Structure 1
Amino acid sequence: MVTLTAHAQKLTPADRMKTNGGKLVIQPVMHASLVLQWNAKTIWVDPSGGANLYTGLNSPHIILLTDIHGDHMDLKTLEALPIHNAKIIAPQAVIDKLPARMKAQAMALNNGDKMEVMDIHIKALPMYNLPETADSRHPKGRGNGYVLSIGTKKVYISGDTEDIPEMRDLDDIDVAFVCMNLPFTMDVDQAADAVLNFKPKVVYPYHYRGQKGLSDVNAFKAKVEAKNRKIEVRLRNWYPAL
């Protein structure tokens, strides 16, 4: 777990991608937090780091939470944001830790489960550390990665995971957000090897701040592109406060 705080600042510019239902807008926010917009719907993923990071962004229709740690389920940030009309989708372990008001907005989605919300198909995938041990920071079954089907695009959000078989088994992923920070998830070599295996069309290194600072995302990009130039690695600033 990495504790993050931020002051009001300009976020990195959003990217846009065509789909059959209009443009998919991809807004990096901070660390594990991002915002997706499509077909007049707004999805917030793991909003954290302070409500001021979300100033000027559309209020969410859907909030996806991946895990119980504070850089994913940040109650102080959630309580300060205009989320009253949003559907919160999260694994049961996360919902169990939400205050009563947020529990009333929440729908449980556990590993392997699927649901459709506002024309967006959502599948929950495992995210966990290897080897699997009793004292793992991220035991299998507690947290979720997600695959979203948004128009014609499939978007993978890794959450806190290592190079697990469930990630390697993905196919036809258009956009992937892949973590890489030791000792919490995986290193740059593991992340690059996994990406080269499941071959997303576009990959964003995110969640790359660890105990010893930022992972070398330029090295990640070089490793991926050296072996598969068809995978576009997009480097964006996920730590605007630094």
Structure 2
Amino acid sequence: MKKLFYGILIAVNCIFLIPATTFSEKKEVKVMVKNIHYLGHDTFKITGEKVIFTDPFKIKKKDSADIILITHEHYDHCSPEDVKKIQGPNTVIVTTGDCAKKISGNIKIVRPGDKINVSGIEIEAVPAYNTNKQFHTKDKGWVGYIFTANGQRIYIAGDTDYIPEMKTFKNIDIALLPVSGTYVMTAEEAVQAAITINPRIAIPMHYGSIVGDINDAKRFREGLKGKIEVVILNEE
């Protein structure tokens, strides 16, 4: 009788403990991504101590950026008209040399491996290139970025495939990864990239505009189920 009582007690405790843990984890994820706003394609607005935009494209309304990170010179990433919509007199633009020729302002040119500090934000340019297609070749010197904002190390991959250098990206809190295939990783390849990088949270991007759709993002999430937390921003 006593064994039965303790067995029931343990079972009841387990039932009540599981939802508490799940709630805590969901709350932490919500806090981590609350300042990250997905505007489509590879465009994110990250708010906090500084307002950071990545690859502004099809910006719908005027805004003000402290820092703009541009990964390469393709029109859907380096868009002068969209840059102007968010550029102020003190905006710093971090980008590659070929993109810098298309825009004006306070520009910091980077290549893979460069590390700079912009207004207190540590930014590292990392390689981004294709391994099985020719849209973004390694010799172009195009980049992704690892930067620290709101106390979190954020990696935005740019237009890339799953590349060996990802094994060297350490202590990433949030990884923003392309999932649409054609020009970048497929959802399945992005799953492998995420497992290699091992961020606390992965957020899919590069879909719904030029190529890909929400189903790519969902396949990415399904592939990482039970391994890495995936947040699809703006999911209806």
State the TM bucket, normalised to the shorter chain.
0.7 to 0.9
Q: How far apart are the structure 1 equivalents of 2:73 and 2:137? A: 11
Counterpart position of 2:46: 36
Q: How far apart are the structure 1 equivalents of 2:86 and 2:149? A: 25
Matched, 1:74 2:88: no
**Rg (Cα) greater in structure:** 2
Structure 2 counterparts to residues 59-138 of structure 1, below 5 A: 59-98=64-103, 102=104, 104-131=105-132, 136-138=134-136
Counterpart position of 1:194: 193
Q: Contact 1:183/1:210 (CA < 8 Å) preserved in 2?
A: no
Q: Following TM superposition, by how much is the alpha carbon of 1:211 offset from its aligned partner in structure 2, in angstroms?
A: 6.4
Counterpart position of 1:224: 224
Q: Following TM superposition, by how much is the alpha carbon of 1:97 offset from its aligned partner in structure 2, in angstroms?
A: 2.6
Q: Contact 2:41/2:209 (CA < 8 Å) preserved in 1?
A: no
Q: Deviations over 1:123-176 (max 9, x none)?
A: 0001000147xxx21111432100002353110000000000112331210011
Q: Specify whether residues 183 and 84 from structure 1 end up closer, same or farther in structure 2 by C-alpha distance, changes over 3 A only.
A: same
Counterpart position of 2:11: none
Taking structure 2 as the reference length, the TM-score comes to 0.79
Name structure 1 gaps, 5 residues minimum.
1-14
Q: How many pairs are equivalent?
A: 206
The one of 58, 63, 68 aligned to 1:49: 58
User: RMSD across aligned C-alpha pairs, in angstroms?
Assistant: 2.4
Q: Specify whether residues 220 and 24 from structure 1 end up closer, same or farther in structure 2 by C-alpha distance, changes over 3 A only.
A: closer
Name structure 2 gaps, 5 residues minimum.
1-28
Q: How far apart are the structure 1 equivalents of 2:210 and 2:77? A: 17
Q: Following TM superposition, by how much is the alpha carbon of 1:82 offset from its aligned partner in structure 2, in angstroms?
A: 4.0
Q: Give the residue type in structure 1 aligned to 2:234.
A: N
Q: Following TM superposition, by how much is the alpha carbon of 1:198 offset from its aligned partner in structure 2, in angstroms?
A: 1.6
Counterpart position of 2:153: 154
Query: When you count helix as a share of all residues, which structure comes out higher?
Result: 2
Q: Deviations over 1:87-137 (max 9, x none)?
A: 111011211232xxx1x41011111000011111000001000147xxx21
Q: Give the residue type in structure 1 aligned to 2:136.
A: H
